[in-house]
Amino acid sequence: MLKNRVKLVYGIGGLGKNMMFAMSTIMSIYLTDYVGVSPMFVGGLVLVVRAWDAINDLIMGNIVDNTKSKWGKFRPWILTGAILNAITLLFLYYKPDLPVNSMSMLIYITVFYTLWGMTYTLLDIPFWALIPALSKDQKERENLSVIARIFSNIGLFIIASPYVIIVKYLGGGESDAQKLSGFFLLACIVAGVFIVTQLLIVIFVRENKHETKNKITLKKTVEILLKNDQLQVIVVAVVVFNLVLYISSGMVHYFFKYDVGDENLVTPFVASGGISMVIASIVYPNLSRFLNRKRMFQLSIILPILGCLGLFIVSFFLKNSFISLVATSSLVFFGIGLSMITLTILLSNVVEYGEWKFGERTEGVVFSVQTFIVKLSSAISSGLIGIGLSVIGYKKDAVLGATTLVGMRIMMFLLPIIGLMFALIIFNKHFKLDENTYENIVSDLEKRSERAGDLL
């Protein structure tokens, strides 16, 4: 049994980590609407850098699995990554005295955005890989995943939701210079909280040691990924799931600013979504009594489909009814909340599946897939948003025509429905690792371990 202190500290670590991640989610808006960088450049930058980050995640997963230290495999990287990532964030939100869209400014942004992604990878993979290293019990993993996701969602939304208000308050006014100052001060606060929360994990959370029998080469890592059929199913389904919903969430600021006509509604709208995700995390253990993991993930896809369909209709007839927007979007956010926990549990179980099938225990590689999914989806979605906005005729602070506004609604609501239906079909057809199968795998692994012990 894991101690409650360990669960709490792990959750607090998730809060700080996602406060940091939230700063990356508002980066595109910061660069385009506050610094004034071209949306096309930002879209291309995010697409390329996060695509590299996605590949880099798999390399980092391999490094983690081959790490041997007195602190274990994970904590050294959490500490190193936290310090470097915090420093990089400050450079990223500091606006140097360079002409906007000049070559020197674009190089500055590119360098530090790339470094931010790479240093975040150093700690993100070992953070989530701790779950299967702390316990093999499904209920323990579920409880730890729920706690981590509750805190992580809170960390994400206490920044992503009220950032407009916070930036104005910290900057001391409405001018562009004051808002830029507010962004930098917010980055300083988040960096400080982030380092403290990760230090708590390093000090108080210690994994059960599972020694890697042989060095896992990068070639072996690729072989594991190509052979692990259940991991592949999760990757395909969740990449598509995340991709379309990232496009939708990335359009929220533009939707309220230009279509609804009140960007101040972004904060309460995102806050309501955060509440829905937290509620989903809280009720997850009760829902899991009636639905197995496969049914839970199916539900987490169906709810956003219904929510996006409702939002598309509301955007034409009731877009000025904030209550209608919140009510329909709650289905989307609730489904996302369920999917986050389910994905963490499914990946944890894939660790034993891979050990059982291939003889290698690779927490780092498996959970590098989780961050790979997030970054690849984010990369493609951010790139598509930037390109899509240019195609439909978006111009900063301009009065947008009806065609452009309808284009925004299609990007935000209809495209996600198509992608979500595809993800549901893939998952239904190919996912086989249910609870009974997992328990049989764990039992067989224990018998193998006992037989190996008898031979020594």
- The pLDDT tens digits for 164-183 are 889 999 998 888 889 899 99
* Overall average pLDDT of the 19-23 stretch: 93
Q: Which fold has domain 4-205+213-444?
A: Growth Hormone; Chain: A; (1.20.1250)
Q: Is the pLDDT of residue 161 over 80?
A: no
d(CA 171, CA 35): 15
Instruction: Report pTM.
Output: 0.75
Residues 157 and 21 sit within 8 Å (Cβ to Cβ): no
For residues 10 and 127, what is the distance between their CA atoms, to the nearest angstrom? 9
Decide: 410 and 275 in contact? Cβ < 8 Å. Answer: no
pLDDT tens figures, 340-355: 889 888 888 888 888 8
CB 40 within 8 A of CB 385: no
| Residue bearing the bigger pLDDT, 251 or 302 | 302
How many angstroms separate the CA atoms of 130 and 72, rounded?
10
Q: What is the mean pLDDT of the chain?
A: 86
Q: What pLDDT does residue 47 have?
A: 78
Per-residue pLDDT band at 371 (split at 50, 70, 90): confident
Work out the pLDDT band at 43, boundaries 50, 70, 90.
confident
| DSSP code string of 378-444 | HHHHHHHHHHHHHHTT--TTSPPPHHHHHHHHIIIIIHHHHHHHHHHHHHHHH----HHHHHHHHHH
Main-chain phi, psi angles of 96, to 5 degrees: -70, 160
Q: Which residue has the higher pLDDT, 188 or 319?
A: 188
| 193 band by pLDDT with thresholds 50, 70 and 90 | very high
Tell me the pLDDT tens digit for each residue of 325-343: 999 999 999 999 999 889 8
Residue 44 has pLDDT above 60, yes or no: yes
Confidence of residue 90 (pLDDT cuts 50, 70, 90): very high
Is the model more confident about 362 or about 392?
Answer: 392
Can you give the pLDDT at residue 453? Answer: 58
pLDDT at 212 over 60: no
What angle (nearest 5°) sits at the alpha carbon of residue 80, between those of residues 75 and 83? 125
Confidence at residue 454, expressed as pLDDT on a 0 to 100 scale = 55
Nearest to 54 by CA among 304, 300, 244, 238: 238
Nearest alpha carbon to residue 409 among 325, 330, 301: 325
* Domain range summary for the chain, segments of one domain joined by +: 4-205+213-444
CB-CB contact of 39 with 386 (8 Å) = yes
Ranked by mean pLDDT, the top range of 204-213, 370-379, 403-412 is: 403-412
